[in-house]
């Protein structure tokens, strides 16, 4: 199934809608079309996995959905806001208010402790009880004994749990995850996967992730398969 509009839920219940989304880049060798006419609906409070071969365009799609990259054509509506009708400052404010991010390489700040890393988005949002909320979230992810440790002394699994705590502590409407278990061994990845899905269910977040992990993708209610920049299949 290619180049069709995949309405998996009524638009009133949608968290993210893309219409005619395209992305191309041009250099001295010509123009490369990365995404072609992507039309998708991501329902609120649902889990979705974007899957496909390396180079298929799935990470580019995730970046555009999150407003971190800009499309060449088409629109993205996040919570009914047209992302790319906003200027960069307003788009950044919308991301800060409504979204969270988890990355393969954790992206923790090395100069901050686990507690300070989780406090950071709360402090940026002006939350006065940032320390308390961050400590409570770190306790929920099993790191209450590691609050004052710096990332360099934490294991990969512990760093990813700090990253999950940082993402979920603001209770985002949407969590974007790019290969969240990609740099972890199998057992640690399984534990992080369970924790991420548990937190997501508890907080009612819309979770959209890119993953090569078939087991993780199978746990999601919706799977979007990208082939050569096009939506090849959406299940269910």
| 35 belongs to a structural domain | yes
- 67 pLDDT band, cuts 50/70/90, is very high
pLDDT at 41 over 60: yes
pLDDT of residue 96: 86
Nearest CA among 12, 38, 14 for reference residue 24: 38
Domain count, the chain: 1
Mean pLDDT of the chain: 91
Q: Which tens digit of pLDDT belongs to each residue from 179-194? A: 999 989 989 988 989 9
Compute the average pLDDT of residues 219-229. 96
Domain CATH for 20? 3.40.50.300
Rounded to 10°, the helix 130-140/156-168 angle is 130
21 in any annotated domain: yes
Residue 78 pLDDT greater than 70, yes or no: yes
Q: Establish if 231 belongs to a structural domain.
A: yes
Let me know: does 222 contact 46? Beta carbons within 8 Å.
yes
Assign 7 a pLDDT band (cuts: 50, 70, 90). very low
Residue 139 lies in a domain: yes
What is the total residue count of the chain? 236
- Say if 5 falls within a structural domain: no
Closest to 196 in 3D by CA, of 156, 225, 163, 236: 163
Alpha helices in 44-146 (DSSP H): 58-65, 88-98, 114-124, 130-140
pLDDT band of 10, cuts 50, 70, 90: very low
Residue 6 lies in a domain: no
Higher-confidence residue: 105 or 132? 132
Cross-strand bridge partners of residue 9: none
2 occurs within a structural domain:
no
Residue 89 is part of which domain span?
11-235
In a domain, 223, yes or no: yes
Instruction: Label the pairing between strands 73-78 and 81-82.
Output: antiparallel
What's the predicted TM-score (pTM) here? 0.89
């Amino acid at each position: 199934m290619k180049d069709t509009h995949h309405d998996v839920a009524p638009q009133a219940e949608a968290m993210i809608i893309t219409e005619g989304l395209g992305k191309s880049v041009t250099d001295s060798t010509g123009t490369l079309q990365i995404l072609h006419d992507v039309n998708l609906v991501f329902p609120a409070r649902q889990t979705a996995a974007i899957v496909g071969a390396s180079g298929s365009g799935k990470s580019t799609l995730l970046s555009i959905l999150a407003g971190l990259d800009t499309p060449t054509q088409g629109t993205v509506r996040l919570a009914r806001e047209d992302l790319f009708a906003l200027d960069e400052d307003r788009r950044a404010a919308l991301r800060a208010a409504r979204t969270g991010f988890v990355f393969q390489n954790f992206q923790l700040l090395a100069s901050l402790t686990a507690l300070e890393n989780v406090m950071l988005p709360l402090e940026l949002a002006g939350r006065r009880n940032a320390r308390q909320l961050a400590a409570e979230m770190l306790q929920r992810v099993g790191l209450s004994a590691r609050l004052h440790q710096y990332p360099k002394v934490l294991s990969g699994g512990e760093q990813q749990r700090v990253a999950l705590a940082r993402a979920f502590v603001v209770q985002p409407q949407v969590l974007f995850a790019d290969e969240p278990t990609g740099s972890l061994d199998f057992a640690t990845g399984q534990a992080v996967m369970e924790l991420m899905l548990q937190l997501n269910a508890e907080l009612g977040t819309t979770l959209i992730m890119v993953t090569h992990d078939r087991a993780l993708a199978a746990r999601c209610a919706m799977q979007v398969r990208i082939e050569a920049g096009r939506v090849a299949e959406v299940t269910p």
